[in-house]
Amino acid sequence: MQRILSKRVWRELKDNFLRYLALFLLIVLGMYIIVAMVGAAEMIIQNVEKGHRVNCLEDGQFNVFVPLNQKELEQIEEAGVTLEKAFFMDYKVEESTLRIYKNRESINLFSLARGELLSADGEILLEQHYADANGISIGDLITVGDREFKVVGLGSTPDYDAVYESMSDSSVDSKQFGTGFVQEADYERLRKEGKSFKTEEYCYSYLLNGKVTRDELKELLQSFELDRSQVTDEYFLEMLAEAESTKNDITEGIQELVDGSKELSDGLLEIAENNQDLKDAVDSLFEAMLEETNKGFEEAGISVVLQEERFEEQLDAMLTNPGAYSRETKQGIRDTKESLQDLREFQEGIDTYTDGVREAVNGSEELCVGLSLIEENNEILNAGAEQLFQAMLGQVNEQLAASGLPVVLTAEEYEGQLDQLIAAYGIYNEPLRQTLVALKEQLGQLGAFRDGVKAYTDGVSEAFWGSQLLVCGMGELHEAGEPLREGTDTLFEAMIEMVNEQLAEGDIEATITAENFEGELDRLTGANSPVDAKLKESLADTKEMLQDLQEFQDGIEEYTDAVEEAADGSKELVEGVEELQEEADEMLEEYFTFDIDNLTAFVSSEDNPRVGASIDDVMINKVAGMVAGVIIMILFTYVISVFVVHSIEQESSVIGALYALGVKRKQLMLHYLVLPVIITFLGGVTGCLIGFSPMGVDSQAKDAVVYFSMPSLEPVYPVYLLIYGLVMPPLAAIVVNYLVISKKLKRTALSLMRKEENAKNIKEMNLGQMGFVSRFQIRQILRELRSAAAILGGMFICLLVLMIGLNCYVLCENFRAASVQETKYEYLYSYKYPTEETPEGGLEGYMESLKKEAFGYNMEVAILGLTKENPYFEEKVTNKKNELVISSAVASKFSVKKGEKLVLTDEVNDRDYAFTIVDIIPYNSALYAFMDIDAMRELFEQEEDYFNVVFSKEPLEIESGRLYATTSKQSIEEASEIFVEMMWPMIIMMTTVAAIIFLVVMYLMMKVMIDRSAFSISLMKVFGYRKREIKKLYLDGNFFVVAVGALVCLPLSKVVMDALYPYFISNVAIGLDIAFSWQMYASIYVAIIVLYLVINQLLVKRLAKVNLAEILKNRE
Amino acid sequence: MSNKKEIIIKATKLKKSFITGDTEQTIFEYLNLNIYKGDFTVIMGSSGAGKSTLMYSLSGMDRPTSGEIVWDGKAITSLNDDKLAIFRRKNCGFVFQQIYLLDKMSLMDNVLTASALSETSKKDSVKYANELFTLVNIPEITRKKFPSQVSGGEAQRAGIVRAVINKPKILFADEPTGALNSNNSTAVLDVFTKLHGAGQSIIMVTHDKNTALRGNRVLYVKDGKIYGECDLGGYTNDSKDREAKLNNFLKEMGW
């Protein structure tokens, strides 16, 4: 039976040879394109990855201000890292830029494509596309600087897969830029000659060798401080000095504060130490005077001995007994003189002392004012840090909740809580464990930052309160100092008065003053002195003197206590200020690293847009190609299934008879699957063979080979693709056909034999008063819904394919137009070492490049700080530090909207910036965001007049050594045109393939519609319908299917492709402006209708061929 | 046969042959035939004798290999496809053994399909169709049904209505009762008789004697020729004479 059925297969194939041939060719075309596309992608991926291994692709690279010194190099080597210098200089060669490197020895080796490697001085290896684009061949001589080099080899290096001049470039232009490699000696000579138009860049490539992580290496590099003695670049030194002055101002200020407080403390301590001496001295003075008095009493024969505690009482008792004592004036005056000398000395010491204290008070008051200013900021700092931490905590809690983890972390216990979570969930869920560890680390870092700020502000507080205490102490000291001075003055004056009174009472002509008391008292106490003593008065004066002295003693007590208090205050101040210094140092270390460490850029190979760009570019082809292959094959096999269903319907009675004869449904199913499987298998095999041939893979890879710089590609034959190409088409045929035809074969033998119509399929449609033709056409469409569905499905898929091409065209074209329209300046100068003054004719701007991840790529977003009068950008920026106006390019790339937050990362300094998007402006040619220049300077802690880019209408005279790059409008326009040029073949191919598939599918389906209706067409002919009338009934109805279908499929396919497109161009740093103009939609629509009309016209002939006698053939 | 009757079709030296591989199979050759207005002509013959082929050639549905067919003085063998289509539209109606109604269209729509190109307005066509439906005993409700929802007899009667909707000069019927049971056959044949009674010229191919009895002229095709002809006269309910006459004729023809 199977053999008989097999014969029917061949008959079916023979009868409909052209139909199956067309389908076969369509499958061949589809599989050819898919296999070629995926195969080319795989070939590029495998070869480039192999090139990475063979040519020792770096793990990353970093740039420094000055070359690393021997010690630093040793430290890196000790860490297990392999390092190689990748220093370079840029030279103008004709109109292009040639970047010269020393030939590599261990990392990023040159992969030779043509010629030979360097063997002697004076030779150069060139990047292959640069040489080709500039017409340079092996053996040619090129001039670099003032030197001539002979080109000996062409090839590529793995670190320049995409030969971007700058990592932020969006397209490769081999005509304008390339790389060259010379012997070390030649490089040195070139360097010494200094003819490069930009300063030498100090770049190092590294291999981690699995010994350290990138972060560890980066940390190590950041710990290297800049060795200024190595800096020779005058512009760099100038910039360095300026940058350091900021930091120096701060550190010096703090140092002065520390020094001042130390001095103050030392001084006060010294005063405190002297207090005891002062006390002792005053005690000694008192005791001495007491002793002298007692001695005088003894000598005068008085038996009273004055005691410290009750001398007043004793003296009062003596005074109330006037006749009891003799007068010995001379001895009394001598003793008084000694006392006065002691007091005078003391008085001078006190003067000096109190003056010093007053100065200290003034100083501490100033200190207090300064510290109170710092204190005022504490609250803001703490609140900010706390808010940041709480925000992070909130975010983490949201993440945990989203992951279904039943924990709410608290600020106090989050570490323990996270440890518990890691222990509980991390064992069986490694990704979750990593996430939790990462969250803990993030929170830990933020917590450390919060604690750091807290410690700093605590230090400031302590310093502040110390200074307060100091001031209080000093105030008391000052208050105590005045009575002390007054006391000593009074004491002294009293003693003078007392002596003068004694002299007057003794009728001695002498007056003692503060200036002459020493000489006068010497004269009066001399041997020839006429003075007579009056004991009573002397005793009374002595008593008064001792009372004054006791008062003085009390004052001193109070005074020294105050000094001690002040000393304690100053100690606290010192501690506080020391703490302040420590925390301030930490802060400076953290936030002012840019001007003290040597590192300027640190890029891993994964984040380097030059590395593996070809792989990134074709990776999407691989995935999308395979998915597209399955979709296309489903369409084709569905088309086949429509034929099979047609055959089953035609052979319905035969099938019924076969069932009646005992043939199983399974056998018939196999029978009807044979042809689709054979067609798809042969189509797949043929498509695969052509796909893997040079016509396929090589042709598909051509665009990438021409654009990217990669090693010579060797063919690869991935097993999965062979299996895909050979198995997928027949598999799709089996699945699709089984699903479609199994229902048809499930009918009973009798039903099949009678060709009974399934009652469920008959639906009354109230078509109202519609004309006959319209009604007939609608019914015809309903009758041929399956074919109509295939037409629409085919149209949708073709439109998707077309949209790939057209979106690409529109993207490139819009980018080109935007580049011309949006670039309003003629020149953009990017400074490496900015000047203080903006050059005449230029307009300053400030640009910072931050990073943000999108679709797996770390894209660079340039924030432009604009002055208000900038005519080149019309954006209305706000003056807030946390607000950004973004370009539509940024908005589309990162899918952000107005009012949302945009977080950008400064990867060198490991710092994130969160901005609120206040506006989105149409700007598609670059990933730009805009800020007010002053706000930006403040945000990035730059000086008030800082700038690093200058826009101008005319070329400016700027020393080339100061510049990173000069970008002209013309160069931007030229670069933008490359996109269109580069993508044109792909656009043509996609459009052609879409048109072919559409034509073939539509033709086959409309033809099968005619075939299925052949009998009724014949009948209509019998009724006297002519060709054009039959066409109207059977073909023209499809016009509505196609016209309405196109109206739906066109926008739908556009929406679907627009949603997918960001993934296709995820590595391209431009905006996603793929909006079609209405004219474009109209053109596509018209093209669809025209294609339909072409098919329609072809099928009119087919209609004519439907034999009138068809009806006779069907007679039973 | 009768010279007084008006000839509608005059076929002269008709030849029809098919080429199968290298062999030419001749169905009929040098066949001459006149069809008269108002006749109910029945063509009989054994299977494969070429009855239907002859009828389709006469109707302009099939082209003879050679010879000439003249309708009302106008040769149709030289007409191109479009002109022939218009000719059929205006002059011919067809009833087939397998009925061939268009699925997914109601009986009424099937009828109107044939009248859509006529000069008659849609309204008049519908009116006339309804009259015909009534004539063939198809109730109004059935007229809206789809072919698969009605009996074979109803479908065939609808087929007859479709065939005569354009008031053709000749109604061609190819074994119209071949797929019907006895009751349905009678009902269908009654319709033909009614139509003939109303003046409709009919050419019918059949190998059923009872069906043939409905005609007034019987032609027997054999060996690629009109082998014999029998004039049965007008149909009556009691037609034993006619039946005997036909039996004798067929016997003579070798039936």
Q: Do B89 and A1111 touch (CB under 8 A)?
A: no
Structural domain of B74: 7-253
Residue B2 lies in a domain: no
Residues B149-173, mean pLDDT to the nearest whole number: 91
Containing H/E element for A860?
strand A857-866
pLDDT at residue A678 in the model: 92
Q: Do B148 and A1027 touch (CB under 8 A)?
A: no
Q: Do A1016 and B102 touch (CB under 8 A)?
A: yes
Helix (H, G, I), strand (E, B), or coil: what is residue B1?
coil
Nearest-angstrom CA–CA distance, A273 and A267: 10
Return the number of CB contacts < 8 Å for A and B: 84
Nearest-angstrom CA–CA distance, A893 and A885: 15
Nearest-angstrom CA–CA distance, A35 and A621: 11
Residues A295-319, mean pLDDT to the nearest whole number: 70
Residues counted in chain A:
1116
Q: Phi and psi (nearest 5°) for A57?
A: -60, 135
- Whether the CB-CB separation of A1046 and A1089 falls below 8 Å is answered with yes
List pLDDT tens digits, range A1060-1107: 888 877 777 777 788 899 999 999 999 999 999 998 888 888 888 877
Tell me how close the Cα of B239 comes to any Cα of chain A, in angstroms.
31
Q: Do A1023 and B86 touch (CB under 8 A)?
A: no
Q: Do A782 and B104 touch (CB under 8 A)?
A: yes
Contacts made by residues A9-14, CB under 8 angstroms, sequence distance 24+: A9/A671, A9/A674, A9/A675, A9/A678, A12/A647, A12/A675, A13/A675
Q: Does B111 have pLDDT greater than 50?
A: yes
Q: Tally the domains of chain B.
A: 1
Is residue A1032 within 8 angstroms of chain B, CB to CB? no
- Torsion (CA) B51, B54, B57, B61 in degrees, nearest 10: 0
Nearest to B117 among A782, A783, A1029 (CB): A1029
Q: Do B98 and A775 touch (CB under 8 A)?
A: no
CATH at B199: 3.40.50.300
| For testing contact with chain B, the best of A747, A767, A1022 (most B CBs within 10 A) | A1022
The mean predicted confidence, pLDDT, of chain A is 78
Nearest chain B residue to A1013 by CA: give it: B102
- Torsion (CA) B142, B145, B149, B150 in degrees, nearest 10: 30
User: How far apart, in Å, are the Cα atoms of A527 and each of A295, A480, A499, A503, A774?
Assistant: 20, 44, 18, 16, 158
| For testing contact with chain A, the best of B58, B91, B108, B113 (most A CBs within 10 A) | B113
Nearest to A178 by CA among A115, A124, A139, A140: A124
Tell me how close the Cα of B171 comes to any Cα of chain A, in angstroms.
12
- Residues on chain B touching A1029 (C-beta within 8 angstroms): 117
Tell me how close the Cα of A781 comes to any Cα of chain B, in angstroms.
11
pLDDT band at A4 (very low <50, low <70, confident <90, very high): low
Is residue A649 within 8 angstroms of chain B, CB to CB? no
Q: Phi and psi (nearest 5°) for A850?
A: -115, 170
- Whether the CB-CB separation of A1036 and A777 falls below 8 Å is answered with yes
Q: Do A1115 and B174 touch (CB under 8 A)?
A: yes
Nearest to A1114 among B89, B98, B103 (CB): B98
Q: Do A1112 and B87 touch (CB under 8 A)?
A: no
pLDDT at residue A329 in the model: 46
Instruction: Among A373-382, A529-538, A790-799, name the most confident range.
Output: A790-799
Nearest chain A residue to B168 by CA: give it: A1023
Nearest to A1021 among B85, B90, B179 (CB): B85
Tell me how close the Cα of B3 comes to any Cα of chain A, in angstroms.
31
Q: Amino acid identity of A125?
A: L
pLDDT band at A632 (very low <50, low <70, confident <90, very high): confident
Instruction: Among A645-649, A796-800, A962-966, A1061-1065, name the most confident range.
Output: A796-800
- Residues on chain B touching A1115 (C-beta within 8 angstroms): 52, 96-98, 174
* Partners of residue B229 on adjacent β-strands: B219
Tell me how close the Cα of A809 comes to any Cα of chain B, in angstroms.
47
Residues A300-312, mean pLDDT to the nearest whole number: 70
Q: Does A131 have pLDDT greater than 80?
A: yes
- Whether the CB-CB separation of A125 and A110 falls below 8 Å is answered with yes
Residue B232 lies in a domain: yes
Is residue A1109 within 8 angstroms of chain B, CB to CB? yes
Largest CA distance in chain B: 54
pLDDT band at A333 (very low <50, low <70, confident <90, very high): very low
- Residues on chain A touching B159 (C-beta within 8 angstroms): none
User: How far apart, in Å, are the Cα atoms of A552 and each of A286, A746, A749, B47?
Assistant: 10, 127, 136, 160
pLDDT band at A721 (very low <50, low <70, confident <90, very high): very high
User: What percentage of chain A exceeds 90 in pLDDT?
Assistant: 20
Q: Do B113 and A1114 touch (CB under 8 A)?
A: no
Nearest to A1019 among B100, B166, B174 (CB): B100
Nearest-angstrom CA–CA distance, A167 and A247: 30
Q: Do A1025 and B117 touch (CB under 8 A)?
A: yes
Q: Do B117 and A773 touch (CB under 8 A)?
A: no
List pLDDT tens digits, range A419-477: 877 777 666 666 666 667 767 776 776 676 666 556 655 655 666 666 666 666 666 66
Q: Does A647 have pLDDT greater than 70?
A: yes
User: How far apart, in Å, are the Cα atoms of B78 and each of B12, B49, B74, B81, B84?
Assistant: 14, 25, 9, 9, 9
pLDDT band at A535 (very low <50, low <70, confident <90, very high): very low
Q: What angle do the packed helices A430-505 and A414-425 form, to 10 degrees? A: 160
Q: How many CB atoms lie within 10 A of CB A310?
A: 11
Q: Are strands A883-887 and A928-932 parallel, antiparallel or unpaired?
A: antiparallel
- Residues on chain B touching A782 (C-beta within 8 angstroms): 104
List pLDDT tens digits, range A922-955: 888 888 899 999 888 888 878 788 888 999 988 8
Residue B63 lies in a domain: yes
User: How far apart, in Å, are the Cα atoms of A1101 and each of A22, A791, A1032, A1095, A1096?
Assistant: 18, 20, 14, 10, 9
Give A 1065-1104 residues with CB within 8 A of chain B.
Answer: 1104
Tell me how close the Cα of B232 comes to any Cα of chain A, in angstroms.
29
Residue B121 lies in a domain: yes
Nearest to A364 by CA among A667, A559, A574, A57: A574
Nearest to A1109 among B61, B104, B144 (CB): B61
- Residues on chain A touching B100 (C-beta within 8 angstroms): 1015, 1019, 1111
Tell me how close the Cα of B53 comes to any Cα of chain A, in angstroms.
9
Q: Do B97 and A1116 touch (CB under 8 A)?
A: yes
Domains, chain A, with CATH or none: 1-55+611-759 (no CATH), 56-239 (no CATH), 254-595 (no CATH), 763-819+969-1116 (no CATH), 827-954 (2.40.40)
Q: Does A536 have pLDDT greater than 50?
A: no
Nearest to B61 among A1016, A1022, A1114 (CB): A1022
Q: Are strands A202-207 and A111-115 parallel, antiparallel or unpaired?
A: unpaired
pLDDT at residue A267 in the model: 62
Tell me how close the Cα of B102 comes to any Cα of chain A, in angstroms.
7
Is residue A1115 within 8 angstroms of chain B, CB to CB? yes
Is residue A778 within 8 angstroms of chain B, CB to CB? no
pLDDT at residue A1035 in the model: 85
The mean predicted confidence, pLDDT, of chain B is 88
- Is the model more confident about A86 or about A703? A86
Is residue A783 within 8 angstroms of chain B, CB to CB? yes
- Residues on chain A touching B88 (C-beta within 8 angstroms): 1022-1024
